[in-house]
Copies of this chain bind each other. A is one copy, B any other.
């Protein structure tokens, strides 16, 4: 009976030396446990999100050489693993060397060739080219290869045969997206089944964490195993990989699906593990129950893991957070504190004349609760100096030989405060503390650029920028109730009206604050960004007219009526935010810090955008006219 080891390893992107060393260790471990087969994730050697590092020939050669070491290490155990495969004789469509995202099977020091393949490896067939995925940019697909060879993909897709003594196993090998074929014109799994009876399937993946994805995978992959009457081994890596602007955690969650479609074994999220299963026992195992947890528990786990690993990757042991007495910075503080420990955390409160005693006291209370480092650095003197210097310095017109003066608007003065806090104080404090300072923006602010560039938008990481405001509140409660088990974030911070406190118009003690009405705007903005079929003003207006807006957005009934007395108000609000979302906010996001992704659409590389200004369709303009006349 085959003993199979699932190697849920941390893959470090762009560091084949470290990944190979880890694989060697896990192979030794599996051999010592008498495993027959060990399965590593997709792209286990190079990592998956590497930007255009795939264009460096020396890097490719290095990955291939490390791959040969792993093949050589298959003397006492069959090793299945993902790596880049290079055909130096052929080219990709960009004129660079031919690269495949490949699945290697090595036994007794040699590669096993799939039945009908021209190469001794399996080639990824379905290439994701949406969201954060860029597979087609670098990897040549099986479909293209088939066309080049004058054949069709169904003739090439074939199982590999593994021999153990007298027994032969037909193994169906899949790479990640190959198992998610719903919207593709071919289904690799079905094509594999046509050839011969498959003894088991292996799907090696490098699948970033997305809220809700695991539940869906259990349904889809469980069904695949059941319909094929064959177990399916899904092996995913853990770790952190990024596309520059967007950072993804990889949760592992490697799973064995029995031939009955049940979950026979499941590795824990975000933990490196070598998990052993016996092929023949799978159907007898009691199905693993996946504990039901609230969404926010998953989100917290992803954020904590992501922050921890990101800090590790960039060698940043300490963190500075500007603390305002508001909810976003408080949640960031509680999160980082948990990850780093209070001795590595410095909170800085930077009051101006507009900051209330309420928020100043709440800031201090939070810092006391955490027991971290704390500083109060007022900005009033510096802000006044800036205003006086700019309004007081003569501006010469050297053509007309005249001299004038500049005047700062109220909004300009608000932005001076925000930049004074981040670019002047926090950046300098962080370097003195041997730290980076965080950006605490949430997704609603990020959507419409409700922040100051080089001010509160600055930071080394925006850990909360993929969370809507209501999720930030949920996270605050979760941190208090579950993670800390006490009121670490003062209830006053949770209860206070959200406000930037940059002018007398934003006085929290008078209940004044942000122009965003989160119970509505969170959901409106989500429709712009996260809906798979993206909503734009035309859709919003159509839903509004049809009376189905709240249902479509997923916000509470009565919300629209509560905030907007007339269609004119509704339209003015819609256009205000749409103009910002597709205008100034794009410019701000271009210069925003990296964002930690948890949703199925995070800003950055996942949500590509151009600085093209806002646009309203003709139909929108007609509907608007109709509404305003009616």
The chain A residues found within 8 Å of chain B, CB to CB, are: 13-17, 47, 49-53, 55-59, 61-62, 65-66, 91-96, 126, 129-130, 134, 136-137, 143-144, 147-148, 152, 182-186, 241-245, 247, 313-314, 342-343, 346, 367-368, 370-377, 381-382, 385-387, 389-391, 393-399, 406-409, 411-412, 415-416, 419-420, 422-425, 427-429, 431-433, 453-455, 458, 460, 532-539, 586-587, 589-594, 605, 607-613, 615, 617-620
Instruction: For the A-B complex with A15-B613, A143-B143, A375-B394 known, give 12 more contacts whose Cβ atoms are closer than 8 Å.
Output: A51-B612, A52-B607, A58-B537, A66-B618, A129-B136, A390-B425, A415-B428, A423-B423, A427-B454, A591-B592, A594-B611, A605-B608
**Contact between B393 and A342, CB atoms less than 8 A apart:** no
**Contact between A590 and B368, CB atoms less than 8 A apart:** no
Closest to A130 in B: B94
**Contact between B609 and A95, CB atoms less than 8 A apart:** no
**Contact between A52 and B427, CB atoms less than 8 A apart:** no
- Chain B residues closer than 8 Å to A394, beta-carbon distance: 375
A244's partner among B16, B65, B611 (CB-CB below 8 A) is B611
Number of copies: 2
Cα–Cα distance between A129 and B313 once the two chains are bound (Å): 30
- Chain B residues closer than 8 Å to A49, beta-carbon distance: 610
Cα–Cα distance between A189 and B377 once the two chains are bound (Å): 68
Min distance, Cβ A465 to any Cβ of chain B, angstroms: 13
A96's partner among B185, B381, B533, B591 (CB-CB below 8 A) is B533
Residue of A144, A367, A590 most packed against chain B (CB within 10 A): A590
Contact A610 B424, CB 8 Å, known A93-B129, A412-B431:
no
Closest to A406 in B: B432
Cα–Cα distance between A266 and B532 once the two chains are bound (Å): 44
Cα–Cα distance between A346 and B185 once the two chains are bound (Å): 58
**Contact between A95 and B59, CB atoms less than 8 A apart:** no
Min distance, Cβ A541 to any Cβ of chain B, angstroms: 10
**Contact between B428 and A460, CB atoms less than 8 A apart:** no
- Chain B residues closer than 8 Å to A396, beta-carbon distance: 373-375
- Chain B residues closer than 8 Å to A47, beta-carbon distance: 612
Cα–Cα distance between A411 and B539 once the two chains are bound (Å): 52
6 tightest A-B CB contacts, nearest first:
A423-B423, A371-B399, A14-B612, A51-B609, A94-B130, A58-B538
Min distance, Cβ A475 to any Cβ of chain B, angstroms: 23
A423's partner among B389, B454, B533 (CB-CB below 8 A) is B454
Residue of A183, A382, A615 most packed against chain B (CB within 10 A): A615
Min distance, Cβ A590 to any Cβ of chain B, angstroms: 5
Contact A539 B58, CB 8 Å, known A136-B136, A396-B375:
yes
**Contact between A593 and B591, CB atoms less than 8 A apart:** yes
Closest to A247 in B: B611
A50's partner among B62, B368, B395, B610 (CB-CB below 8 A) is B610
**Contact between B389 and A408, CB atoms less than 8 A apart:** no
- Chain B residues closer than 8 Å to A536, beta-carbon distance: 56, 58-59
- Chain B residues closer than 8 Å to A619, beta-carbon distance: 58, 61-62
**Contact between A608 and B244, CB atoms less than 8 A apart:** yes
Closest to A584 in B: B314
Contact A243 B373, CB 8 Å, known A424-B424, A613-B14:
no
Cα–Cα distance between A243 and B534 once the two chains are bound (Å): 19
**Contact between A419 and B427, CB atoms less than 8 A apart:** yes
Min distance, Cβ A269 to any Cβ of chain B, angstroms: 23
**Contact between A183 and B419, CB atoms less than 8 A apart:** no
Cα–Cα distance between A615 and B148 once the two chains are bound (Å): 34
Cα–Cα distance between A148 and B137 once the two chains are bound (Å): 22
